[in-house]
Structure 1
Amino acid sequence: MGMADEIYGKLVTEILDEGIWDKDQNVRTTWSDCSPAYTKSLISKQMQFDNSEVPILTTKRVPWKSAIHELLWFYVKRTSDCSYLDENNVKIWKEWTNGQNNIGKAYGYQLGKPIMLKGQITNQVHNLVAELINNPASRRHVVSLWNIDDLDQMELYPCVWNNQWLVKQGTLHLVVNARSNDIGLGNPFNVFQYYVLQRMVAQVTGYKLGTLTLNLNDVHIYERHIDSLKEQIQRTPFLAPELWINPEIKNIDDFTINDFRLMNYEYHPSINMEIAI
């Protein structure tokens, strides 16, 4: 049984059993028919993976290539322009893409934005890699996507907004913080993506792979996802697959989709869940 399915199933069950409805509030999100997209949620839950296996769900198919493409768009391309996604037929951002075919000053823009640190122009990704190599004991290895000065120019405020990296005894640990996490659609993407990113950064910095922790502040299930998730968590999980990453890549900017292969990925059929906007 895959560890990701077990951890995910327990969290889904806890939200269904103990979650709090927001039907007393004027919620921002809506369905395509313009009706309110209500959620059942828990406050401040944590998912932790020891990374002894790939944390990807098998109780439904997770489109892993699209997940990696989005990750590469953020952390390697470092842009909010959606051309890269278009070229690779990734449509997950279509609902938030503006007339200029970008998502404003969000996500990749913040990662690629030039910053002055220690007298040199760099960006958050290059600075992270350099500091992990040169100053591993620091507790300041933080990447932030939440820039209050740019929020009104973002098509969507970042949900996963911050991550912190910690090096202990030659092992690289990653803590990911999310202000909001949609357990049905967003969470399976996020868990797998940040595992892949952790593998990438560990490879280019030379550290062993440590734990992956996700702190989820408002973790929720949309009302129209409840029946689908009840069905999903009743399925018997398969064994976790293996992820091959090209060991020849030593620079974070050199990764492409061709440097990743998910092997022996066995999964149950996809489950349709409507996107709340």
Structure 2
Amino acid sequence: MEQYLNLCRHIKENGVIKEDRTGVGTKSVFGYQMRFDLAKGFPLVTTKKTAFRLVVSELLWFLKGDTNVKTLMKEKNHIWDEWAFEKWVNSESYKGPDMTNFGVRAANDPAFKTIVEEQMEIFCSKILSDEQFANEFGDLGPVYGKQWRSWPGNDGQTIDQVQNLIYQLKNNPDSRRHIITAWNPAEVDDMALPPCHSFMQFYVANGKLSCQLYQRSADVFLGVPFNIASYALLTHLIAKECQLEVGEFVHTLGDAHLYLNHMEQVETQLEREPKQLPTLILSSDKNSIFDYEVEDISLVGYDPHPRIKAPIAV
């Protein structure tokens, strides 16, 4: 995973300081590309432990067209909690302590962080136990899964981009239109978070399937390792269904940034030596990409360095 570490070094050495919507501030570069040969191992970062199970459950959540965090919480996946939590604490229904700019404040105030954690625990409990509450505050709007599986078309019809992609890969592999987009200008303002990984194109050559992702905004320390693994996994799943081998995952970044409160963590990671990449194992009895459950997907040989914690910017 030298490609990823080189990106971190490139931002540290060449990035510019920019303000951002979270108030944290970033060091940023614009326009960067990484390439991963998927035949040489599964590209999961080894210089810090990355929770592959969370990558899997999130991707399957997208593929099912789901947009409610309740499904993820049932899988003990909490990577989207903050955006749903923000919706609740900004509503008239919320009666607890002031949560204005809770992400930044918690990162700088241990006492307030404890308060946020207490409110988050209440929130998660209500999502899992109260269906009406989950419907109101757990849904993130028309985010990735909605756009992938039911893009709003004409006359009330919807477009299943994933199903259409698989059909075209099987029947017209040389097409230059193997595209899925999550960026829907008509609905972007209704999303809890506009899609960061927003546009992907697939390519078939010599019996191998490759994928290029365009990511408009990339949180390089926390988000990008997940994004690399997620789209590498998606490429493997689609290739298997289409009876193709895997080729490359090409990751093209727009605004690639390190948050200023992640710099120490990045330094720690850059001091570590990368380890051998793991091997992806997919259940042999699944014929459709839509049939997979978390237990059907695993890694062999993943032996990373310890996890490095860092605050998320909301």
Structure 1-normalised TM-score? 0.91
What amino acid is aligned across from residue 82 of structure 1 in structure 2?
V
2:44 alignment partner in structure 1: 56
Q: CA RMSD in A?
A: 1.5
Distance 1:121 1:222, change over 3 A: closer
Letter in 2 for 1:56: L
Specify the alignment match of 2:83 in structure 1.
Answer: 96
* Cα distance in 1, alignment partners of residues 287 and 153 from structure 2: 24
Q: Which residue of structure 2 lines up, in the alignment, with residue 204 of structure 1? A: 241
CA distance in 1, matches of 2:75, 2:304: 23
Label 1:145 to 1:114 Cα distance change in 2 as closer, same or farther (>3 A). closer
SS at structure 1 position matched to 2:186 = helix
Q: How does 1:214-233 map to 2 (within 5 A)?
A: 214-233=251-270
Distance (whole Å) between structure 2 residues aligned to residue 116 and residue 12 of structure 1: 40
> Could you tell me how far apart the structure 2 residues matched to 1:151 and 1:170 are?
36
The one-letter code matched in structure 2 to 1:71 is L
In the alignment, the residues of structure 1 paired with residue 49 and residue 151 of structure 2 have an alpha-carbon distance, to the nearest angstrom, of 37
The secondary structure found in structure 1 opposite 2:238 is helix
Is residue 115–residue 123 contact of structure 1 (8 Å, CA) maintained in 2? no
Partner residue, 1:68: 56
Please give the per-residue CA displacement for 1:4-25, whole angstroms capped at 9, x wherever unaligned: 2x11111111110111111xx4
> How far apart in 2 are the matches of 1:83 and 1:203?
29
Is residue 78 of structure 2 the alignment partner of residue 78 of structure 1?
no
Residue of structure 2 in register with 1:11 after alignment: 7
Q: Does 1:87 align with 2:83?
A: no
Matches within 5 A, 1:198-277: 198-277=235-314
Residues 55-204 of structure 1: matches in 2 within 5 Å? 55-75=43-63, 77-97=64-84, 98-99=87-88, 100=136, 101-113=138-150, 122-204=159-241
Measure the CA separation in 1 of the matches of 2:159 and 2:145. Answer: 14
- Tell me, yes or no, if the aligned pair for 2:197 and 2:215 is still in contact at 8 Å: yes
Specify the SS of the correspondent of 1:149. Answer: coil
Maintained 8 Å contact 1:203/1:247? no
**Identity fraction in percent:** 34
Higher relative helix content: 2
1:169 Cα deviation from its structure 2 partner = 2.3
Runs of 4+ aligned structure 1 residues displaced above 3 Å come to: 114-117
Structure 2, unaligned runs of 5 or more: 89-135
The reply to whether residue 21 of structure 1 matches residue 17 of structure 2 is yes
Contact 2:199 2:214 in 1 (8 A): yes
3-state secondary structure, aligned to 2:187 = helix
Bigger radius of gyration: 2
Which structure 1 residue ranges, 5 or more long, are not aligned? 30-35
The 1:196/1:211 distance shift into structure 2, 3 A limit, reads: same
C-alpha contact 2:31 2:252 (8 A) present in aligned 1: yes
**Match for residue 39 of structure 1 among 8, 26, 29:** 26
Does the CA-based 8 Å contact 1:54-1:243 persist in structure 2?
yes
Q: CA deviation at 1:156?
A: 0.4
Give a deviation string over 1:194-244, Cα, whole Å, max 9, x none.
Answer: 111100000001111111100001101000101110111111222111111
Q: What secondary structure is seen at the aligned counterpart in 1 of 2:272?
A: coil
1:116-148: per-residue Cα shift (whole Å, max 9, x none)?
69xx96511111111111111110010000000
Cα deviation code 1:3-54 (max 9, x no counterpart): x2x11111111110111111xx4x211xxxxxx2100011100010011111
Deviates more, 1:127-136 or 1:232-241: 232-241
Q: Separation in 1 of the partners of 2:158 and 2:303?
A: 45
